[in-house]
């Protein structure tokens, strides 16, 4: 990403910190070429997405597989809102991509006994998206998983990637 300036949110730890180490970051959204919307802060990711779109920036949104499971918790609803805003703006011609990751091996989820992807691997996925000549609306990337059986009822064993799931 030669000569491109990045503005990256969520840079204190985890994926955001690794992205800053790889690309650097400018101090203001207005000064970047590429915005990586990494910090989860309620619905603030959605607000920042719209600001970046108004400035005609290339945008990478860090979503979550949890956006498929909004009935479980607020985090999923917030990530679903980001996903829907990404879809709306992409369909309006904005160069925006959402990457819905499963669990990433960071300190935030260190106590969860689930398959996780390395931060380095996730950085590689983001780098791959940035190198593509065409716009990419959305991708979902998850670690290899065993069959997942949720603890919500007998018919829920068809659900994949549910938080609070039991691995067999």
pLDDT tens, position by position, 15-73: 999 999 999 999 999 999 999 999 999 999 999 999 999 999 999 999 998 888 877 78
Task: Retrieve residue 168's tokens.
Answer: 């067999």
* Residue 24, Ramachandran bin (φ over 0: left; ψ between -120 and 50: alpha; else beta): left
Residue 152 has pLDDT above 50, yes or no: no
Q: For the chain, which domains are there?
A: 6-167 (3.40.50.720)
pTM: 0.83
pLDDT at 157: 41
**What confidence category does residue 1 fall into, taking pLDDT thresholds of 50, 70 and 90?**
low
How far is residue 144's CA from residue 116's CA, in Å, rounded to a whole number?
8
User: In Å, what is the CA distance from 52 to each residue of 15, 94, 162?
Assistant: 20, 10, 31
pLDDT at 69: 80
Tell me, what DSSP letter sits at residue 27?
Answer: S
Residue 164 has pLDDT above 50, yes or no: no
* Residue 116, Ramachandran bin (φ over 0: left; ψ between -120 and 50: alpha; else beta): beta
Higher pLDDT, 168 or 18: 18
Higher pLDDT, 149 or 34: 34
**50: nearest Cα among 61, 40, 42:** 61
């Amino acid at each position: 990403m030669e000569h491109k300036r990045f503005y990256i949110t969520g840079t204190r730890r985890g994926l955001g910190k690794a992205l800053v180490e790889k690309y650097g970051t400018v101090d203001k959204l207005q000064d970047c070429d590429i915005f990586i919307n990494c910090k989860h802060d309620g619905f603030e990711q959605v607000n920042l997405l719209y600001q970046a779109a108004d400035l005609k920036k290339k945008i990478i949104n860090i979503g979550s597989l949890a956006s498929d499971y909004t009935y479980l918790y607020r985090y999923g609803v917030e990530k679903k809102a980001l996903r829907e805003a990404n879809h709306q703006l992409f369909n309006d011609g904005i160069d925006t991509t959402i990457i819905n990751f499963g669990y990433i091996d960071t300190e935030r989820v260190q106590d969860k006994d689930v398959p996780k992807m390395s931060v380095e691997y996730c950085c590689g996925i983001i780098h791959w998206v940035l190198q593509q000549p065409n716009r990419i609306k959305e991708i979902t990337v998850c670690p290899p998983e065993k069959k997942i059986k949720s603890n919500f009822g007998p018919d829920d064993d068809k659900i994949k990637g549910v938080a609070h799931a039991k691995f067999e």
